[in-house]
Every structure is written in structure tokens, then in C-alpha cells.
Amino acid sequence: MNILHLYPDSMSLYGESGNIKAFAKALKATGKSVNIIKTDLDGEVSFGGVDFAYIGQGTEEGELRSLAHLKRYKAEVAQYIENGGMLLATGNSWEIFGKAVTYRDKEYEGLGIFDYTTVIGKERLVDECEASIPEYGIDIVGFSNHSGVVTGSNNGFTVFSKGRGESHLYKGFMGTHMIGPILARNDELVLKLLGRLEG
């Protein structure tokens, strides 16, 4: 199984690389060999032969740098997702797959794969949270630490916390503000993702 880890240096705050470790461990437990492909801002992005892709949480500046780099591969990203390729985006990283990200009153064009938009404000949302994912039939727990407000995402799940958190689901794409790392904290979610990967 080939796992593509996008921007492990610039988009892996709060130990989010633990998602890759947890997923790789679960895959190996089923007897599969795992090849982790790490691509950062100085590298080329390729989705050829990729079974599962991941991008984690970063600073706001890291988010925008990752967006600028990934825009070079917009067509490949869109095709990978449309063809059912699995991609997990946690924390603020899922915001870049929308139409636009506004930061410090400046709007940056997003990848435009989905119709939602994000405004990064000054208020940070820091809180333990939980969510129900009806499509998967499970509840998950996680953590929230972001300042983006996303509008226009009408195909996700609700994050319940003292604060707020949005999400988006489409085919094999799962984007969520929840961090944790969520795959290290939610065995049921790992099993659901494995099932979709193998199904």
C-alpha cells in the first residue's frame, strides 16, 4: 500500500503525523506492506499508484505555502479525488481544497475542488470535541485548535464542542478541523477507512 504524506515538515503541528503512523500500523496488522511517500514544499507531487493520501495541520502561513505549492498539481488532485482516491485532511489543511482562503483581509484562491470558502480570523478555537459521522455510522473524539471559519460545506458531519468545527466528505475525501491525531484516538474510524480502502 502506497501512502502519500503531503508536507510532513510544514503541515504536521501537534503531532498530526501520528495519523500516518496509526494508519500504517493498522495496514501492517492486516499483513500488507506499506510504503510511505513523503513530499514537502521542495518536492514534486504525484498521485500515481497512491492508495491513501494525507495532509495535516499547519500554521496559517504553512497552510498558504502548501496551497501555493499544491496548486501546481490542481488537476491531478481533482482527478485523484474524483476517481475515488482516499485523502484525509485534518486541522486547517482541508480549507485549501475549497474556493478561497481569506487571511489578514487578503483572499487567496483555493484549489477550487469544492465550493466552500474559509475566513481565517483572530479567534482561535481550542477545545476537546466529538463528532458523529452518520455516513460511517460511528462517533469520534478529537481536538480543535484552529481559527478558520468555513462556509458552504454542506456535505460533512457536525463537530460537537464548546466551540465550532466544520468538515467535508466526498467520495474518498474526508476533511475535518478535528485533530488529535484522530486516527490514533479512534480505532473505529481507522477500521472504516481500511474498509473503504479495501472495498
Give me the DSSP letters along the chain.
-EEEEE-TTTS-GGGTTHHHHHHHHHHHHTT---EEEEE-TTS----TT-SEEEE----HHHHHHHHHHHGGGHHHHHHHHHTT-EEEEEGGGGGGGSSEEEETTEEEE---SSS-EEEEEEEEEEEEEEEEETTTTEEEEEEEEEEEEEES--SS-PEEESS---EEEETTEEEES-BS-HHHH-HHHHHHHHHHHH-
The pTM score is 0.95
**The domain that contains 151 carries what CATH number?**
3.40.50.880
- The domain in which residue 93 lies consists of 2-198
**Number of domains forming the structure of the chain:** 1
pLDDT over threshold 70, residue 75? yes
Tell me what the mean pLDDT of segment 164-177 comes to: 89
Share above pLDDT 90 across residues of the chain, in percent, rounded to a whole number? 77
Which whole number is the average pLDDT over 44-59?
Answer: 97
Q: How far is CA 166 from CA 16, 43, 94, 156, 199, in A?
A: 18, 30, 10, 7, 27
Average pLDDT over residues 160-169: 71
Range in 1-5, 97-101, 116-120, 154-158 the model is least confident about? 154-158
List, for residues 110-122, the tens digit of each pLDDT value.
999 999 999 999 8
125 pLDDT tier (thresholds 50, 70, 90)? confident
Quote the pLDDT of residue 160.
61
